[in-house]
Amino acid sequence: MKTAVQIARDVQNGESSAVDELNTSLAAVRARNDELHVFLYVDEEGAAAQAAKVDALVAKGENAGVLAGVPIAIKDNTCQRGIPTTCASKILEGWRPPYSATVIERLLAAGAVPVGKTNLDEFAMGSSTENSAFGPTRNPLDPSRVPGGSSGGSAAAVAADMTPISIGSDTGGSIRQPAALCGLVGVKPTYGLVSRYGLIAFASSLDQIGPFAKTVLDAATLLEVIAGHDRMDSTSLPEPSPSLVAHVNDGVAGKRVGVVRELIDGADEEVVDAVNRALDVLREAGATTVELSIPELRLGLSAYYLIAPAEASSNLARYDGVRYGLRVDAADVSAMNEATRTAGFGAEVKRRIMLGTYALSAGYYDAYYGQALKVRTQMIDAFSRAYHEVDFLVGATTPSVAFKFGEKTSNPMAMYLSDVFTIPTNLAGEAAISVPFGSGETGLPIGVQLLGPGRSEAQLFSAARVLEIADSRP
């Protein structure tokens, strides 16, 4: 399948049309969506209209945008006006937002063609997409296995060649982990780089929207389109979108790379091997590597599983059956709230809401949530000290390759542990990329994680590109 950059070039210079590219995409969707359950909603009408618009611009000789005619899949926790946005939850089944997220506006302005909304773990809570209220998504590379989560659908859309690019959201690893399990490039941008306006909130201080792609160049191109200050998001960084594409081939000569044991220890042997081979490649390309230990990172899981649920418990309070979404009637409004939320939320969501409510409640705030916030500061400081020594860090993205359905669902903690390498970056608000590098015994792909300080995406893309070139995978 063509890359996004190739498609845009072909559409802009008339060798192809947006409508044709869309049709190719839709054919691929139709071929495997029943099997893989990637899309919760395919917006044929909207996509056709957007494709026609792009073709009309091209016909007039105008610039149709950096992503002209490129089909793109959107994670279904991102509001797109007029089409269903469900967060894979019964409580929002059928809800059509009266507004679009800022990233959607930017994608449309760049000529991209959103094809539909992809499956996710309900309200982005999960690491396998098994928590979707509408059924799981299957890994296109091995449908007996999970694609990862929570952005499993967006990862699968690209891995199955339905669209060359997609967007997901990452709160504790929900882009990077599925990217690793599906053999894709996945980016969690610096906190505030991409607007959260229109992203249905899970954990406000951790969420970021980011790209999935098969190539580093596509990922950088997509991130450039959606990044940059947004006045609708108070936490948005003040700068305009950074220059990323121009730096993709900068290489890593002279760079100092930290190998963090806490981001490798506990991973399967084949994953550790892949990380080590990646380090060889970086050294051959002119980087120096040094082994680091950042013990503060070990507390990341604990802090995350208090902070994220706490914020989520508050963010999800609005689903009360009053203004939109599911309502289960009852004699009084409190009973109605309770009946609605009990029927509308799945078990994982309920679990996290209760955990979060508990962590914030009177008498427990200091011990749990308050303490977790302090641990977070420590982690930020620890990363900061590390970045005085090195330019970026390398580690594993996930402890193992894609696991089988049902393997981790009996025990929530087991699932939570799969986020151990990705969570620290969210807590610190910094940038990280997962890039495919080699595969395991089963032939399933392995992801290597590159982490950098806030606003360092450009150098991370450069390093990712070095690995991409060396990687034997086509």
Partner 1 sequence: MSSPLTRAEVAHVAKLARLSLTEDELDLFTEQLGQVLEHASDMNSLDLTNVVATAHPFGLINVVRTDEVRPSLDRDEVLAMAPETQDGRFVVPRIMGEAP
Partner 2 sequence: MTLPNGWEMVVGLEVHTELKTASKMFCGCANAFGAQPNTNICPVCLGLPGALPVLNVGAVELAMRIGIALHCTIAPSTFHRKNYFYPDMPKDFQISQYDLPINVGGYLDLPDNSRVSIERAHLEEDTGKSTHLGGTGRLQGADRSLVDYNRSGVPLVEIVSGPDIRSSQQARAYAQELRGILIATGASDGRMEEGSMRIDANVSIRKANAAIGNRCAIKNLNSLRSLQRAIDYEALRQVELLEEGGTVRQETRHWDENLGETSTMRVKEDADDYRYFREPDLVDLVPDLAWQDRVRAALPPMPAERRQKLSARLSDPTPAQLDAVEVVIDLGLEELVNAAVDAGAEVTLAISRVANEVAANIEQVTNLTSDSFCATVLMEQRGELSATQAKTVLGELLAHGGDPKSIASALGYEQLSSSSLGETVAALIEEHPDEWNRYRDGDEKLAQFFIGQVMKSTKGQANGKAVVSELQARR
Q: Which residues sit at the interface with partner 2, rule CB under 8 A?
A: 78-79, 85, 87, 92, 95, 97-99, 101, 196-201, 203-205, 231-235, 310-311, 313-314, 317-318, 320, 322-324, 333-334, 337, 357, 360-362, 365, 369
Q: How far is the CB of 93 from partner 1 (least distance, A)?
A: 12
CA distances from 323 to 92, 266, 311, 320, 326 (A): 11, 46, 21, 8, 9
Q: Is 25 an annotated catalytic residue?
A: no
Which of 289, 409 has the CB closer to partner 1? 409
Check: CB of residue 329 under 8 Å from CB of residue 343: no
Is position 443 an interface residue for partner 1 (rule: CB under 8 A)?
Answer: no
Stretch that binds partner 1, among 34-42, 195-203, 229-237, 277-285 (CB under 8 A): 229-237
Q: How far is the CB of 250 from partner 2 (least distance, A)?
A: 32
Could you give the CA distance from residue 343 to residue 423 in angstroms, rounded to a whole number?
30
Q: Is 75 an annotated catalytic residue?
A: yes
Which of partner 2, partner 1, none has residue 354 at its interface (CB below 5 to 8 Å by kind)? partner 1
Q: How far is the CB of 32 from partner 2 (least distance, A)?
A: 29
Could you give the CA distance from residue 224 to residue 461 in angstroms, rounded to a whole number?
12
Exposed/middle/buried for 48, CB within 10 Å: 0-12, 13-18, 19+? middle
Paired residues of 289 in beta bridges = 257
From the list 2, 41, 99, 261, which residue makes contact with partner 1 (rule: CB under 8 A)? 99
Which of partner 2, partner 1, none has residue 441 at its interface (CB below 5 to 8 Å by kind)? none
Q: Is 334 helix (H, G, I), strand (E, B) or coil?
A: helix
Is position 387 an interface residue for partner 1 (rule: CB under 8 A)?
Answer: no
Q: How far is the CB of 312 from partner 1 (least distance, A)?
A: 11
Which of 103, 287 has the CB closer to partner 2? 103
Q: How far is the CB of 98 from partner 1 (least distance, A)?
A: 5
Q: Is 186 helix (H, G, I), strand (E, B) or coil?
A: strand
Q: Is 169 an annotated catalytic residue?
A: no
Q: Per-residue b/e over 107-134, b at no fewer than 16 CB within 10 Å?
A: bbebbbbbbbbbbbbbbbbbbbbbbbbb
Angle at CA 474, nearest 5°, toward 6 and 126? Answer: 90
Exposed/middle/buried for 247, CB within 10 Å: 0-12, 13-18, 19+? middle
Question: Where in the sequence numbering do the catalytic residues fall?
Answer: 75, 150, 174
Which residues are at the interface with partner 1 (CB under 8 A)?
Answer: 95-96, 98-99, 190-192, 231, 234-235, 237-238, 298-299, 301-303, 305-306, 313, 317, 320-325, 327, 329-339, 341-342, 345, 350-351, 353-355, 357-358, 361, 367-368, 370-378, 380, 411-413, 416, 428-430, 454
